[in-house]
Every structure is written in structure tokens, then in C-alpha cells.
């Protein structure tokens, strides 16, 4: 028997991504197991055949290869049925020419969730915003199936996909280099050095610049991290033939 929670749960950062099986526009998925070893962006949209969602799907689909280079897969969800999803995605491909994008084919899976099983499991239904539609939720799940970031947007506001891309780069950089990233960080910008060790040194004897490190105060030290060094860690290498 399936072990699915039907209460409106809210997974949190650091939790294991709740498991589910679902039907999608690309066949059945067993989540997050099918994505072991990859980063995944699981995101919900309120409804098929709506304008903000259409602009989001066009944008996300046009960035899919960029995300793949970060070993990151996209999985969408709404509480619509499979035939609605298929008809909407076909309309997007055949008819919509928006913001310089046309003939956009959405090849990542879009989960059908008429029962709202998955939407409930992930806290995507937020009844004071809408009772019959998911909000615009974004769950970033790492290769071990752990939720690393969550973003929620209301129905009226399309997401910023550059920010989601930046977020994946920042999480992967934090993992690869043991650093944190400051506001608006992009690869090539200075990163934040963990304070306990290195800035303990700073507290005693250093303020200002020493080598690659710059301390603004004892609790706030940054260092350079070359864009090339970052990108070489983040960009997925093509599989060997
Ligand atoms: C939209 O995607 O345009 C939308 C969906 C649900 C409510 C409001 C707007």
C-alpha cells in the first residue's frame, strides 16, 4: 500500500524530499529516487492555460540545457490532469511566440496531480491564497534527495528563473568549496569565508586585506574565488564514450 500523507504538510530545508510516484507528460516517475545523483528543481504552477504560467514554462524550457550543465533536472506540477497538460504544452509549442521564444517544446516532466496528493505532500496548496490551485513553489533538491532551498511566489507573480539558476550555482559552490555566498553573488564574485576558524584569526590580528582574504570585521571575511575555478566545478562534464 502507498504510504502517502494526505494532510497539508510543509517540508522544510534540510528535510529528505518526500517520496511519491506520479504520472507525468514523460511517463511515470518515482520521486526523488529516479533523480538520485542529480539536482532537481520540483516546481508547481497554479493552472495550465493561464498566462503567467505559460510565460514561466517558456522561460524554464528555454533554460533547460543551461540547468542540465549544472547536473540539474526540472520537474513541474499542477493539479490539472494529463490531457490538459498535453494540450497546453502542445499549444505552447505550436502557437505561442513570446519574448523572443517560439516553438518551445517542454520536454521535462509535468506531473498530473488531480488528486492533489503531491501538492499536499509538498505544501504547495496554500488555502488563503487559493484552495484549488497550487502556488508557485520551487523546491531545490540535491543529489542525495535533501531539500536545499524553497521559494514560494503567489499566483500573480511570475518567477525569476535567473535567480533560480543563480541559487543552484550558489548551493553547488557552497558544497564544492566550503564557503558561503553574499547577497547577489555570481560566479567570479568574492565568497564568504566561514568565520569560526579563519576569522578567529582575523579577530586577533587582522582587519582589512591579507592575501586573498578581506575582513570587513571579525565576523565578515571574504576571499577571491575565480570564476573559472567555480565554473570548472559546476559545469557537468560530458559522459565518457
Ligand atoms: C496565471 O498563470 O496567469 C495565473 C494563474 C492562476 C491565477 C492567476 C494567474
Domain boundaries, the chain: 20-158, 172-234
Q: How many Å lie between the centroid of ligand 1 and the Cα of residue 32?
A: 27
Which residues lie closer than 8 Å to 170 by C-beta, 6 or more apart? 181, 185
Q: How many Å lie between the centroid of ligand 1 and the Cα of residue 157?
A: 8
Question: Could you tell me if the CB of 48 is within 6 A of ligand 1?
Answer: no
Which whole number is the average pLDDT over 50-77? 98
Assess whether pLDDT exceeds 50 at residue 200: no
> Which pLDDT score is estimated for 207?
66
Question: Could you tell me if the CB of 155 is within 6 A of ligand 1?
Answer: yes
Question: Could you tell me if the CB of 53 is within 6 A of ligand 1?
Answer: yes
> Which pLDDT score is estimated for 106?
98
Q: Are 20-158 and 172-234 in the same CATH fold?
A: no
What CATH topology corresponds to 172-234?
Antioxidant, Horf6; Chain A, domain 2 (3.30.1020)
Q: How many Å lie between the centroid of ligand 1 and the Cα of residue 65?
A: 26
Which whole number is the average pLDDT over 11-17? 98
> Which pLDDT score is estimated for 81?
98
What CATH topology corresponds to 20-158?
Glutaredoxin (3.40.30)
Confidence bin at 32 (pLDDT 50/70/90): very high
Per cent of the chain over pLDDT 70 is 89
Question: Could you tell me if the CB of 51 is within 6 A of ligand 1?
Answer: yes
Check if the beta carbon of residue 5 is closer than 8 Å to that of residue 18.
yes
> Which pLDDT score is estimated for 211?
76
Q: Which residues are catalytic?
A: 53
> Which pLDDT score is estimated for 153?
98
Residue (of 59, 58, 62, 20) closest to 42 by Cα position = 20
> Which pLDDT score is estimated for 212?
85
Residue with grid cell 496531480, as numbered in its chain = 113
- Tell me the pTM: 0.91
Which whole number is the average pLDDT over 103-125? 98
Amino acid at each position: 500500500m502507498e504510504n502517502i500523507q494526505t494532510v497539508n504538510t510543509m517540508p522544510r530545508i534540510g528535510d529528505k524530499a518526500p517520496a511519491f510516484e506520479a504520472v507525468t507528460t514523460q511517463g511515470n516517475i518515482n520521486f526523488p529516487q529516479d533523480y538520485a545523483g542529480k539536482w532537481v528543481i520540483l516546481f508547481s504552477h497554479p493552472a495550465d492555460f493561464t498566462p503567467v504560467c505559460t510565460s514561466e514554462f517558456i522561460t524554464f524550457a528555454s533554460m533547460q540545457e543551461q540547468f542540465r550543465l549544472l547536473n540539474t533536472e526540472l520537474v513541474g506540477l499542477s493539479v490539472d490532469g494529463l490531457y490538459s497538460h498535453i494540450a497546453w504544452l502542445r499549444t505552447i509549442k505550436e502557437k505561442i511566440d513570446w519574448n523572443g521564444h517560439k516553438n518551445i517544446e517542454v520536454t521535462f516532466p509535468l506531473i498530473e496531480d488531480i488528486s492533489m496528493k503531491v501538492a499536499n505532500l509538498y505544501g504547495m496548496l496554500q488555502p488563503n491564497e487559493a484552495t484549488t490551485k497550487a502556488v508557485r513553489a520551487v523546491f531545490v533538491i540535491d543529489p542525495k534527495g535533501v531539500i536545499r532551498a524553497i521559494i514560494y511566489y503567489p499566483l500573480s507573480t511570475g518567477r525569476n528563473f535567473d535567480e533560480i539558476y543563480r541559487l543552484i550555482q550558489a548551493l553547488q559552490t557552497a558544497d564544492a568549496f566550503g564557503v558561503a555566498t553574499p547577497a547577489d553573488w555570481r560566479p567570479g564574485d568574492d565568497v564568504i569565508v566561514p568565520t569560526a576558524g579563519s576569522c578567529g584569526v582575523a579577530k586577533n590580528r587582522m582587519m582589512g586585506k591579507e592575501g586573498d582574504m578581506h575582513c570587513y570585521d571579525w565576523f565578515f571575511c571574504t576571499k577571491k574565488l575565480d570564476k573559472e575555478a567555480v565554473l570548472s566545478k559546476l559545469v557537468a562534464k560530458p559522459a565518457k564514450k
